[in-house]
Amino acid sequence: MNKKSLLTGLGIGAVLGAGSFLLHDKFCKKKCEYFPFFGEATEKDIDSSKITVQLTKNPKKKKEDPNEYGFGKYMSDHMLEIDYIDKKFTVPRIVPFHDFPVHPATSVIHYGITAFEGMKAYKDSEGKIRLFRPMKNMKRFLKSARRLCLPDFNPEELLKCIEKLVMIEKDWVPEKKGFAAYIRPIIMGTDQFLGLKPASKYKIFVIISPVGSYYSDGMKGIRLYAQNEYLRSWVGGTGGNKLGGNYAPTLLPTLKGFEKECKSVLFLDKEGKVTEAGAMNCMVIWENENNERELITPSLEDNTILPGITRDSILKLAKESGQFDKVTEGDITINQLVKAHNENRLFEIFGCGTAAIVSPVLGFKYEGKTYDFAKDGKLGEFTLYLYDTILSIQHGEIEHQWSHLIEEQD
């Protein structure tokens, strides 16, 4: 590839954004002055044993009532930072929470070269701190980073750094059941260059936000606005990765849903297949056309669906519950949902994810018609069972391998 054709390709690629960075091995591993680090191993990986800690001299005042925290409005005192420069990770450092000075040409601003994760820390009845299946988050974080051509990192070492941060901030983890400290790991390209290319410099940072109960006023069902005018994801795209650029385009259809008195969107593809419910995975409980009681959720096979940790947990719990003839990962079409509703075979729909665990659905609107299936607004029994079970595991009330206890650290 000559210099002229490569630059032309970069100009076209700039229109497509960070999602166009999945350049397969045949191209990525060629030595090239524009992509010099492709195919080269990281010379120095993350080393949690060398982490440094600088404690704040001005700790923030915590809320007496954790309900006042809401979601994502308040930050804890410290953050974790790790930079990647010259094929090496810097020493991980925990420092007082601070703003970043950002160069106007920084690549994350222009091309969305960023991925993130969402986790929570919970406090059990003995005051110990627990995480929920954190290695699943770390592996998904790595998968998302690879989709943006960012160099690999050791997910186990990163988790150890996060655990250190969480234990320093353990007083920011609310004590009440249903409350938590939300953990947001982020990776972003920090090159100062206007050309579209994979980042050669990037930063990993982790911040913590104490959060109130998602259902502080009690769990209530919502109605979904089913539409396929605006797609959340498509085959060959980035829907199966947790990238920053996946979320902003969902704001407009969500606003249109609000105008139709729906609090979230049921995203469909152009063939009418269900993909996700807002920013959550979608689950349906019905009697299928073979007269089987089934829990079904869209498959991960074509990489259009985010592989949610809560999603995976629910599938396992559903199989263990013995309440279903089938637990399926497969296609669900809007026409099937309408038909099941009309034949009184549609029992429960719910979204699921880290923030809410489950979000019960009372009905949906599609093509000007409303399809409500929850009688008298009553929430689904299995939806409530899942919420109580997963919450109890997260807070250590139910002994389970998914609850990850953080050991006290020096």
What CATH number should be reported for the domain holding residue 56?
3.30.470.10
For residue 405, being part of any structural domain is answered with: no
Q: What is the pLDDT of residues 250-271, one digit of tens each?
A: 999 999 999 999 999 999 999 9
Host H or E run for residue 181: strand 180-189
Position 18 scores a pLDDT of: 54
pLDDT over 70 for what percent of the chain? Answer: 90
Taking residues 372-381, what's their average pLDDT? 90
Same domain, 267 and 333: yes
Q: Is residue 12 over pLDDT 90?
A: no
Q: How far apart are CA 350 and CA 382, in angstroms?
A: 10
Position 238 scores a pLDDT of: 97
Taking residues 157-177, what's their average pLDDT? 98
Q: Can you list the alpha helix ranges (DSSP code H) found in 71-175?
A: 107-111, 134-147, 155-168
Q: Is residue 309 over pLDDT 70?
A: yes
For residue 352, being part of any structural domain is answered with: yes
Taking residues 154-170, what's their average pLDDT? 99
Q: What is the pLDDT of residues 187-215, one digit of tens each?
A: 999 999 999 999 899 999 999 999 998 87
Position 19 scores a pLDDT of: 53
Same domain, 43 and 170: yes
Position 25 scores a pLDDT of: 39
For residue 195, being part of any structural domain is answered with: yes
Q: Is residue 385 over pLDDT 70?
A: yes
Same domain, 90 and 193: yes
Grade residue 24 by pLDDT with cuts at 50, 70 and 90: very low
Q: What is the pLDDT of residues 314-327, one digit of tens each?
A: 999 999 999 999 99
Point out the domain boundary residue: 160, 182, 211: 211
Position 410 scores a pLDDT of: 67
Point out the domain boundary residue: 156, 178, 211: 211
Read off the tokens for 291: 């007269």
Same domain, 170 and 236: no
For residue 93, being part of any structural domain is answered with: yes
Position 15 scores a pLDDT of: 37
For residue 3, being part of any structural domain is answered with: no
For residue 409, being part of any structural domain is answered with: no
Same domain, 320 and 183: no
Domain tally for the chain? 2
pLDDT over 90 for what percent of the chain? Answer: 84
Position 31 scores a pLDDT of: 41
Domain range enclosing 265: 222-394
Q: How far apart are CA 82 and CA 401, in angstroms?
A: 29
Same domain, 278 and 379: yes
Can you give the CATH number for the domain in which 342 is found?
3.20.10.10
Same domain, 158 and 66: yes
Taking residues 336-352, what's their average pLDDT? 98
Write down the pTM of the prediction.
0.91
Same domain, 51 and 82: yes
For residue 7, being part of any structural domain is answered with: no
Long-range contacts of 264-267 (CB under 8 A, 24+ apart): 264/222, 264/224, 264/225, 264/351, 264/359, 265/224, 265/225, 265/226, 265/227, 266/224, 266/225, 266/226, 266/227, 266/334, 266/364, 266/366, 267/227, 267/228, 267/230, 267/231, 267/232, 267/233
Q: What is the pLDDT of residues 26-48, one digit of tens each?
A: 444 444 444 444 444 567 899 99
For residue 261, being part of any structural domain is answered with: yes
Whole-angstrom CA distances from 284 to 249, 300, 353, 362, 395 are 25, 16, 15, 12, 27
Same domain, 160 and 275: no
Position 287 scores a pLDDT of: 99
Please tell me which residue, 22 or 363, carries the higher pLDDT value.
363
Q: Is residue 166 over pLDDT 60?
A: yes
Q: Is residue 108 over pLDDT 90?
A: yes
User: What residues have CB less than 8 Å from 183, skipping those under 6 apart?
Assistant: 117, 118, 119, 120, 121, 162, 166, 206, 207, 208
Of 86-100, 130-144, 203-217, 229-243, the poorest mean pLDDT is in 203-217
Q: How far apart are CA 204 and CA 92, in angstroms?
A: 9
Same domain, 192 and 303: no
Taking residues 217-233, what's their average pLDDT? 94
Same domain, 191 and 227: no
Taking residues 92-98, what's their average pLDDT? 99
Position 409 scores a pLDDT of: 75
Point out the domain boundary residue: 184, 211, 238: 211
Same domain, 240 and 359: yes
